[in-house]
C-alpha cells in the first residue's frame, strides 16, 4: 500500500507540480489509523512516499516508522 502524509491543502503550487513538502506520518492531515485499518487482508508492504520534506528526509523516515509502530500491528 502506498502512503504519505502532508498538509493536503490546495494551493497554486499544485498547478505547477510543485507541492508543499510532505510530513512524517502522523504529522499531516490524513487519518492514517483509519487508512492502515482499511489495508486489504494480506497487505505485506507499506511504501512511504516522500516527494519533498521540510526536515531531513532520514529524520522524517525515522519518525514515520516510529509512528507506524504505534498505530499498526505490522
Helices (H), 1-74: 12-15, 32-37, 57-71
Q: Is 22 helix (H, G, I), strand (E, B) or coil?
A: strand
pLDDT band at 52 (very low <50, low <70, confident <90, very high): confident
Q: Is 34 helix (H, G, I), strand (E, B) or coil?
A: helix
Q: Is residue 9 scored above 80 in pLDDT?
A: no
> Mean pLDDT, to the nearest integer, of 15-34?
84
pLDDT at 14: 58
pLDDT at 59: 96
More confident call, 8 vs 71: 71
CB crowding 19-50: b at 16 or more within 10 Å, else e: ebebbbbbbeebebeeebeeeeeeeeebebeb
More confident call, 57 vs 7: 57
Q: What is the pTM of this model?
A: 0.78
The grid coordinates listed for 35 are 487508512
Amino acid at each position: 500500500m502506498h502512503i504519505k502524509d502532508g498538509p493536503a491543502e490546495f494551493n497554486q503550487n499544485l498547478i505547477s507540480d510543485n507541492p508543499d513538502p510532505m510530513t512524517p506520518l502522523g504529522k499531516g492531515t490524513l487519518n492514517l489509523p483509519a487508512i492502515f485499518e482499511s489495508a486489504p487482508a494480506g497487505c505485506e508492504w507499506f511504501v512511504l512516499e516522500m516527494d519533498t520534506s521540510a526536515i531531513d528526509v532520514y529524520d522524517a523516515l525515522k519518525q514515520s516508522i516510529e509512528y507506524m509502530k504505534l498505530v499498526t500491528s505490522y
